[in-house]
Chains A and B, each alone.
Chain A
Amino acid sequence: MTDPIITSTGLGHAYGDIVALHHVDLEIPPGRVGLVGANGAGKTTLIKILLGVLHPTVGATTVFGADPQTEPIVVRARLGYMPEGSCLPLHQTAADFIVYAAELAGIPPRAARQRASDVLTLVGLHEERFRYLGEFSTGMKQRAILAQAIVHDPRLVFLDEPTAGLDPEGRDEMLDLISRLGEFGINVLVSSHVLPDIERTCDWVVMLDGGRVLRAGPLEGLTDTGTVEIELVDDPAPVAAALTARGAVVEVDRQTILFTLREGDAFLLARDVLADTGAGLRRLGPKTTTLEDIFLEEEGET
């Protein structure tokens, strides 16, 4: 694993008697990372601790090797943040506010104007840049919030529920933009309770529930079940029998065969068996599970 950009050790935070985070140990790699969990799982609390806005009750955390509690200026100089809910001054134009957001990060005024123009184009607000933010629709506001979060070219951007309140089209466009941030070299930590959003945009995931980490790891590994799924046109019985004879654990559901192999390449076995039996193939592929299935499974276990 490459050097983590975020670490936390025994991190905990409580609002009075309510424990929001409970002994969170994490090492988050660069890239696009999803932070998933139900409302109240502790996602926003974790982000605010990483920003240095909240102080952990116990434990420690680092962002790019610096402690947000003791070195907030160092940490914040590398961050962008798209909060849940609005953060837009309603009586300013989009262009003025995005320039201001860039200058707030220390970008010199002339460069700030250029970057604001570029980023507003990137998020699709170039035509609207001289309109007052109070006149924007929800979707346009979300884009403007994303623009302020990336205008200063941060190394890491926190996106807290970026698709909240968006219609399907707006959500689709926002997810496309988030996916592209990785291409620009910006590390992303996306917090969401909408699991398909995380599946679509991230390559690493942290699952939180009740302030505890349920699971953390690469998305690919999480959703891959290790099972191969074959859907046949013909009777599956001969294929199932041949797979069983070669050591596979087989399950048949109407025209579909699900099998796992303890040793060896399951796909090579499927190819050979299909060639030997001459069965008509409709579909062949890995059986994947969704984050939602994993989340519910893990939640049930705890």
Chain B
Amino acid sequence: MSDRGVVFDLGYSPHEGPRLGRFGAVRAVLKDGVRRVLGLRRKARRKVMPWLLFGFALLPAAVFVGLAFFVGSFSPEAESPFGGHVEYIGLVGTLVLLFVALAGPELLIPDREEGVLAVYSSRPLTVGDYLLARAGAMAIVVAGFMIVPNLLMYVGFAALDERGFASTLVGNWADLLRILGATAAYLLAYGAPALLIATYAKRNGPATGVYLAVILGSTGLAQGLSQAADIPGGRWGSLLSLVQHPEIVRSWIFGRVPDTGSIPTEAGFDPWVSLAVIIAIAVLTGVLIHRRYRRLM
């Protein structure tokens, strides 16, 4: 036998198996989006922020359930500011704001700036498919942020409840729907503007900065406008408080009074107006993003 290596040209074999078409393409974009925002299959430094935020979201819930397990007298709703679902969603909502500030640009900007859109334009995929899959990726991860810790508390406290695990789970099932509803409100209110800014920005860092400035600055603007008595219709300016709309809707869903300092509420708007504003922002954002991408893909 020769001791010299031989290179075999394996040539090329055509793909004769199934092709999943548009469904497969959308699934691939969705999977890539989830990986991308969580930094999976990327360098280690790209994993740091999303997993740190996810850890912050999960840790208090795990601690509360643990304390309740080991310290029988511990009652999270009575002894912690984040004990109940409504308060916990408020806490996680802040983390979600930071998360979408990072995730929105990561989902859209690299594809555009690195020329990857050209690859999508030679695949069985429409502009709408691509954008929905990207938004879907954000929705999956944001839902994970908000639902996983709440689910941990829901199941954990049910297991420790004196009424019994099964009966508590069944008895509180409406809370699950409320958690889902609140999650959707936060996702639309925070996620849509993040994707819109990412649609026009060229780099991730500035896009995150602009998003946070707009979202957080909107509260100050809304406060100023609603308190300016000499501006006609200044009351409507209170609706610019983008951060507070999902918080108002969350309180509404759980049957609570909105937090003090809620500008739209103090200006006399009912919670359904906040819900309408969130939906309007999401629809308008979707139209603008689609119009921009229709020219690119």
Contacts and interface: CB of A to CB of B under 8 A. Distances in A.
Given A76-B125, A106-B25, A184-B14, A81 B20 contact: no
B41 A92 contact: yes
Contacts of B110: 89-91
A121 B43 contact: no
A107 B46 CA distance: 28
B115 to A, nearest CB: 4
Determine which residue in A48, A52, A80, A89 has the highest number of CB atoms from chain B within 10 A of its CB, and name it.
A89
B29 interface: yes
Interface string A82-105: 010111111111001000110111
A218 B22 CA distance: 36
Contact of A104 (B10, B12, B123): B123
B116 A88 contact: yes
B127 to A, nearest CB: 10
Interface in B102-129: 110-111, 114-126
A145 to B, nearest CB: 9
Interface residues of B, number: 40
B20 A108 contact: yes
A122 interface: yes
Q: Could you tell me the dominant secondary structure of chain B's interface residues? A: loop
Contacts, number: 117
B43 A91 contact: yes
A59 interface: no
Interface stretch (A148-156, A191-199, A276-284): A148-156
Contacts of A51: 121-122
A132 interface: yes
Interface in A103-127: 103-108, 111, 115, 118, 121-122
B254 to A, nearest CB: 40
Contacts of A76: 121-125
Contact of B119 (A52, A104, A180): A104
B175 interface: no
B41 A73 contact: no
A122 B125 contact: no
Given A79-B122, A83-B115, A104-B29, A115 B42 contact: no
B164 interface: no
B72 interface: no
Interface in B57-108: none
Contacts of B15: 107, 111, 115, 152-153
A105 B10 contact: no
Given A77-B21, A83-B115, A118-B13, A91 B122 contact: no
B118 A118 contact: no
Interface string B3-40: 00000001111110111111111011101100000000
Contact of A132 (B20, B28, B43, B122): B43
B172 to A, nearest CB: 38
Interface of A: 48, 51-53, 72-74, 76-77, 79-81, 83, 85-93, 96, 100-101, 103-108, 111, 115, 118, 121-122, 132, 148-149, 152-154, 158, 180, 183-185
